[in-house]
Amino acid sequence: MFKDGSSSVSARLHEHGSAAWEAATGHRMVKEIAAGTLPHQRFRHYFEQNIAYLEDYTRAIAAIAAKAPDTEALEVLGRILGQIITVELPANRRFLERLGGDPADVRGVATMEPTTYAYTRHLLATAALGDCAAGLTAVLPCQWSYGEIGADLAGAKPDDPIYADWVEVFGNPDYAELVDVTTSLLDRLADPGGESFSRLQVIFDASTRYEVEFWDMAYEPPAARS
């Protein structure tokens, strides 16, 4: 999934942001999911926030698709939209129900905690104001890091069926292949030099930091903070 040793744009972005990347993919919440020890209350809170997040993530991808320069880019972005709309959002709603929550209670911005709101505004603003490459750079850390987490956990799934089923959403060959085509599209569209790359680095690093902050926020539901 990671283009090891490559000088591609995606590989350079990943390498530069490696510290935050490791903090996201190795977060204590991820480790507790892997061990099957995460309290269900915390996973429920994660889904309450993630459903609201994914709805705006979908809107950001749609805005990026509107700027796609060619058919190939449209096809890739269409696949990403399909993954979110037909796979991940329905799965998140089912997980929330299994954990005793009600998806009807998730009401977009009204449901969002500050971290969720800030992350989604970052994605929407970048998709609206930047070109296709900038938008892809903003949404990529979410897709890519979850693909890495899924691949890492797929070989030894937790005994808890909820956590095992969650790993299966991301730890499968189809998801890994989607990450590959997304990073390849970014590598084709992005300008690898000078100020253009520096702007992409800022965007990528911001999204990766938000991934860490999202895990932090999900790990400490409101009741645990009071």
In the prediction, which pLDDT does 2 show? 46
| Residue found under tokens 């899924």 | 150
Q: What is the mean pLDDT of residues 165-179?
A: 98
**Domains of the chain: residue spans and CATH:** 38-220 (1.20.910.10)
Question: How does the average pLDDT of the chain come out, rounded?
Answer: 95
Which whole-number Å values give the CA distances from 156 to 111, 159, 178, in the listed order? 34, 9, 22
Over residues 91-128, the pLDDT tens digits come to 999 999 999 999 999 999 999 999 999 999 999 999 99
Q: What is the pTM of this model?
A: 0.94
pLDDT cut 90: percent of the chain above it: 92
In the prediction, which pLDDT does 222 show? 74
Euclidean distance between CA atoms 78 and 82, whole angstroms: 6
Q: What is the mean pLDDT of residues 160-187?
A: 98
What DSSP character marks residue 103? G
